[in-house]
């Protein structure tokens, strides 16, 4: 492990790891987006042939009912039961997040409130490289479903057989995804953002992906909403002498399974530091601090995606944590539990963005409208305040719209 010290250049580089996009990548992605926006399906098929090495027609783009039925024959029956149990866990968690519209009345004739409504159409991107990321399906679709999203459209790259992994199709079917398309990369994001003759335009795009997908999401923001710009997976572990060294090793090593995964250990314990600082099997960083208070400060500056608190009283330390995508408490809560089965989505802010953003949740699929109602009496009693501000901002017509009602 690489040893770094709070405040040195390596530490500051770690804190500011988000960085800027690469100019060549931005240009390539912009070209893909422009062509799909201008040409629609022909561009989509051309890029699929170029990048995925799969030649398809327009009819091949959408997954059929027959393909979904066939997918059930290609997986082990017991995996379906496992998925149903996990779905039940996630349902329980997100049901508690459902916001309710509210209003409050004043005696003066003023009524204020907030109305919540689900986003109408959401696009879910599911990566599928060497292995199917099945968990990304239920971690993105379920909160959208519980929020009440009317239409969910999924996109995932096709394999050489012009299909999508059967596990992904089965999970999508169990969750009643409305439409599934065999398209990946930046071209999939373009299709969802702009729409084509085959792929419908959506209001928001969610789900992780490679650097092309992430850059495409950044560039289409404004045409539609996005969840976040997710980078490589991260874990920061705060551990003291109570932590099990073998558990720490396995948890730090697990991030190496992710492409460019980042592992950081912060500890005030000489025992833990000495046991792991020279471990060449762990590709990551180790930071020695004075105490757990300083450990919390360091963690808040780094703002990790996953934060594990492997100390005797994790809930006490949790009070000092302000910046983290997900916090996992105690010796028996590794990142894998949060990634797969606990309930909360594993789509979390990375690159230090946990300083100002949250993980994907039910509220990610809800929008709110402010509700305002004034009686004539209430308007008249407040008119002088409006007059002062419209004079200050030189917006006379604004004042006249109030004055007309008061006379």
* CA dist., res. 217 & res. 211, Å (int): 10
Using DSSP bridges, classify how beta strands 234-239 and 326-329 pair: parallel, antiparallel or unpaired.
Answer: unpaired
- Single out the catalytic residue among 167, 215, 234, 305: 305
Determine whether 167 is an active site residue: no
- Sign of the alpha-carbon torsion through 201, 204, 207, 210: positive
Q: Tokens 């030649």 — which residue?
A: 55
Determine whether 31 is an active site residue: no
**SS3 labels along 122-184:** EEEECCECCCECHHHHHHHHHHHHHHCCCEEEEEECCCCCCCCCHHHHHHHHHCCCCEEEECC
| DSSP reduced 3-state for 104 | strand
Give kind and range of the element (H or E) at residue 34: helix 23-39
- Single out the catalytic residue among 167, 215, 234, 306: 306
Give kind and range of the element (H or E) at residue 368: strand 366-374
Name the token pair of 241. 């002498």
Positions annotated as catalytic residues are: 305-306
């Amino acid at each position: 492990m690489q040893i770094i010290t709070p405040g040195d250049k390596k530490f500051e580089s770690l804190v500011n790891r988000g960085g800027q996009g690469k100019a060549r990548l931005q240009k390539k992605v912009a070209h893909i987006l422009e062509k799909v926006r201008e040409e629609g399906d022909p561009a989509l098929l051309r890029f699929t042939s170029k990048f995925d090495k799969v030649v398809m027609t327009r009819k091949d783009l959408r997954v059929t009912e027959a393909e979904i039925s066939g997918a059930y024959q290609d997986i082990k029956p017991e995996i379906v039961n496992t998925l149903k149990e996990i779905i039940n866990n996630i349902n329980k968690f997100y049901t508690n997040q459902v916001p309710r519209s509210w209003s409050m009345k004043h005696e003066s004739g003023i009524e204020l409130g907030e109305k919540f409504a689900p986003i109408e159409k959401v696009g879910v991107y599911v990566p599928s490289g060497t292995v199917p990321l099945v968990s990304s399906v239920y971690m993105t679709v379920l909160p959208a479903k519980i929020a009440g999203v009317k239409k969910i459209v999924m996109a995932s790259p096709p394999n050489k057989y012009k299909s999508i992994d059967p596990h992904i199709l089965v999970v999508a079917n169990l969750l009643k995804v409305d439409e599934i398309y065999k398209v990946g990369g930046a071209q999939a994001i373009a299709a969802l953002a702009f729409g084509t003759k085959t792929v419908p335009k959506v209001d928001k795009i969610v789900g992780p992906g490679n650097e092309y997908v992430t850059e495409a999401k950044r560039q289409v923001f404004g045409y539609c909403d996005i969840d976040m710009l997710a980078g490589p997976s991260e874990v920061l572990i705060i551990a003291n002498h109570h932590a099990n060294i073998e558990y720490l090793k396995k948890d730090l090593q697990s991030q190496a399974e992710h492409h460019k995964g980042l592992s950081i250990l912060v500890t005030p314990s000489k025992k833990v530091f000495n046991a792991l600082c020279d471990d060449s099997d762990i590709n990551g960083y180790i930071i020695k601090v004075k105490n757990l208070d300083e450990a919390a400060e360091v963690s808040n500056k780094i703002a990790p995606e996953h934060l594990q608190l492997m100390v005797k009283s994790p809930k006490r330390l949790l009070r000092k944590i302000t910046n983290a995508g997900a916090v996992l408490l105690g010796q028996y809560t590794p990142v894998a539990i949060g990634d797969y089965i606990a309930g909360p989505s594993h789509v979390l802010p990375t690159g230090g963005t946990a300083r100002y953003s949250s993980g994907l949740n039910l509220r990610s699929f809800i929008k709110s409208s402010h509700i305002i109602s004034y009686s004539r009496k209430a308007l008249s009693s407040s008119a002088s305040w409006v007059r002062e501000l419209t004079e200050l901002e030189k917006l006379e017509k604004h004042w006249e719209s109030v004055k007309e009602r008061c006379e």
